[in-house]
């Protein structure tokens, strides 16, 4: 099985959430970003690289004590693509695969991350979870096969557009957590109340 690391994207401004940093909002007594980081660390995949940008000091403090490497993205305001590139560049060359996790997805199960890695044999461009007929997150990217395309990504988008229409993307079953991201205080309140919503 090819070596695979994890990139945790935690550099965004989260403007739809309001004035306070979204990734620091509490869920079950812990910041959203810490839920995602702990899920990453509950897998066998290493290293786990957290990409920081907006609110870097406070988000970094929320992740204190965890076995993470950090990558700073000074260009975070230019969009998600810059954080993705910064995180991928911070992984060691030996990692052919990179599971890209989002800091605002607190219900991603470590077992799903493990299944993405187990399904990756190095021939696919990506391995993605599908739930409810739609692709979700996290996704596993083949750094070598997608290197040129990833280097050209711009703006506030991830690898999704690169993967659309490709025949070398493996889809595996996702779960509710692979479709649940927190973008607004209302979506966080719904999750806290036990309702699904994104």
Taking residues 77-89, what's their average pLDDT?
Answer: 94
Question: Does position 197 have pLDDT exceeding 70, yes or no?
Answer: no
pLDDT at 198: 41
Number of CB atoms found within 10 A of residue 195's CB: 9
The CATH code for residues 4-192 is 3.90.550.10
pLDDT at 139: 97
Least confident of 12-16, 78-82, 121-125, 156-160: 12-16
pLDDT at 146: 96
Average pLDDT, the chain: 92
Whole-model pTM: value is 0.93
Percent of the chain with pLDDT strictly greater than 90: 76
Question: Does position 32 have pLDDT exceeding 90, yes or no?
Answer: yes
Percent of the chain with pLDDT strictly greater than 70: 96
Query: How many angstroms separate the CA atoms of 85 and 162, rounded?
Result: 14
CA 105 to centroid of chain Cα atoms: 8
pLDDT at 192: 86
DSSP assignment string, 157-182: --SHHHHTT-SSEEEEE--GGGS---
pLDDT at 85: 94
Closest CA to 180 of 123, 109, 125: 109
What are the extents of the domains in the chain? 4-192
- pLDDT tens-digit series, residues 127-152: 999 998 999 999 999 999 999 999 99
pLDDT at 195: 54
| DSSP conformation class of 79 | -
Question: Does position 68 have pLDDT exceeding 90, yes or no?
Answer: yes
């Amino acid at each position: 099985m090819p070596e695979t690391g994890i990139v945790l994207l935690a550099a965004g401004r989260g403007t739809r959430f309001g004035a306070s940093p979204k990734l620091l909002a509490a869920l079950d007594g812990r910041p959203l970003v810490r839920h995602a980081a702990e899920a990453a660390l509950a897998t066998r995949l290493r290293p786990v690289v957290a990409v920081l940008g907006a609110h870097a000091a406070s988000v970094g403090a929320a992740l204190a004590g965890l076995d993470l490497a950090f990558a700073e993205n000074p260009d975070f305001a230019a969009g998600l693509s810059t954080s993705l590139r910064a995180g991928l560049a911070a992984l060691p060359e030996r990692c052919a695969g990179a599971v890209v996790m989002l800091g605002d997805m607190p219900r991603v199960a470590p077992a799903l991350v493990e299944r993405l890695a187990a399904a990756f044999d190095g021939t696919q461009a990506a391995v993605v979870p599908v739930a409810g007929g739609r692709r979700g997150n996290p996704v596993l990217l083949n750094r070598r096969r997608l290197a040129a395309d990833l280097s050209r990504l711009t703006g506030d988008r991830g690898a999704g557009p690169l993967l659309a229409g490709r025949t070398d993307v493996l889809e595996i079953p996702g779960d509710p957590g692979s479709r649940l991201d927190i973008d607004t205080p209302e979506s966080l309140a719904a999750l806290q109340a036990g309702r699904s919503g994104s």
